[in-house]
């Protein structure tokens, strides 16, 4: 092939061929690997490089979470405090942002350096049957959920907490005070006015 190109170039130099012929290099070769295979290899390499402490792709059942909350390891780790008590938010400046981050876990892997108390411990699963964990996020004084600004949990886990709290109320796993209703009896009973 290269002999043909050199002869053509020589002919052009000698002005035998007046027409301008664009010279393109055509080569025949074998493809050793395709780009799709490279992408597949890169993804498998990424999966191998994930730190097991940050990997959250394997879901933990709520039964395991209930056993963990009742275990001695949990008591030793949190020392009788709620799970959010010793957590300190990491932020720039003196005043923390009003809202916490959207989520700590992206694509099943912890993506932040300082995850929220629920995302940090893989065995803490918010479920309506895990009442001991839910009670740590309920105020003792009014029975409402403590704000995410105080607990520091991310917005996704706060939504999961709200869902688990309302389900626990519906299923009756958490006791709560029913609000007292005051009725306007004048709609049903109209006393006769004596003249």
CATH code for position 153: 4.10.640.10
pLDDT of 81 > 60? The answer is: yes
User: Is 58 among the domain residues?
Assistant: yes
Number of folded domains that form the chain: 1
* Residues 20-47 pLDDT 10s: 556 666 666 665 555 555 555 555 555 6
User: Is 26 among the domain residues?
Assistant: no
User: Is 63 among the domain residues?
Assistant: yes
pLDDT-derived band of residue 1, with 50, 70 and 90 as boundaries?
Answer: low
User: Is 70 among the domain residues?
Assistant: yes
User: Is 176 among the domain residues?
Assistant: no
Q: What is the Cα–Cα distance from 17 to 24, expressed in whole angstroms?
A: 17
Domain hosting residue 65, numbered range? 51-171
User: Is 177 among the domain residues?
Assistant: no
* Residues 6-15 pLDDT 10s: 777 777 677 5
Report, as an integer, the average pLDDT of 44-56: 77
**Winning range, highest mean pLDDT, from 82-96, 149-163, 180-194:** 149-163
User: Is 1 among the domain residues?
Assistant: no
Q: What is the Cα–Cα distance from 175 to 11, expressed in whole angstroms?
A: 97
* Residues 82-136 pLDDT 10s: 999 999 998 899 998 999 999 999 999 999 999 999 999 999 999 999 999 999 9
User: Is 17 among the domain residues?
Assistant: no
Dihedral sign for Cα 69, 129, 154, 100, please: negative
pLDDT at 186: 81
């Amino acid at each position: 092939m290269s002999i043909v190109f050199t002869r053509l170039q020589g002919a052009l130099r000698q002005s035998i061929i007046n027409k301008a012929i664009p010279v393109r290099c055509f080569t025949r070769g074998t493809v050793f690997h395709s780009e799709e295979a490279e992408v597949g290899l890169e993804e498998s390499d990424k999966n191998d490089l994930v730190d097991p402490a940050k990997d959250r792709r394997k879901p933990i059942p709520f039964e395991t979470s209930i056993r963990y909350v009742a275990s001695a390891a949990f008591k030793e780790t949190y020392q009788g405090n709620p799970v959010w008590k010793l957590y300190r938010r990491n932020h720039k400046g003196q005043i923390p942002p009003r809202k916490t981050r959207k989520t700590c876990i992206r694509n099943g892997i912890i993506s932040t350096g300082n995850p929220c108390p629920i995302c940090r411990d893989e065995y803490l699963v918010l479920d309506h049957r895990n009442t001991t964990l839910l009670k740590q996020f309920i105020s003792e004084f009014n029975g409402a959920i403590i704000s995410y600004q105080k607990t520091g949990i991310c917005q996704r886990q706060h939504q999961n907490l709200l869902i688990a709290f309302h389900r626990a109320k519906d299923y009756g796993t958490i006791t709560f005070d029913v609000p007292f209703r005051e009725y306007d009896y004048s709609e049903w009973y109209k006393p006769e006015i004596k003249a």
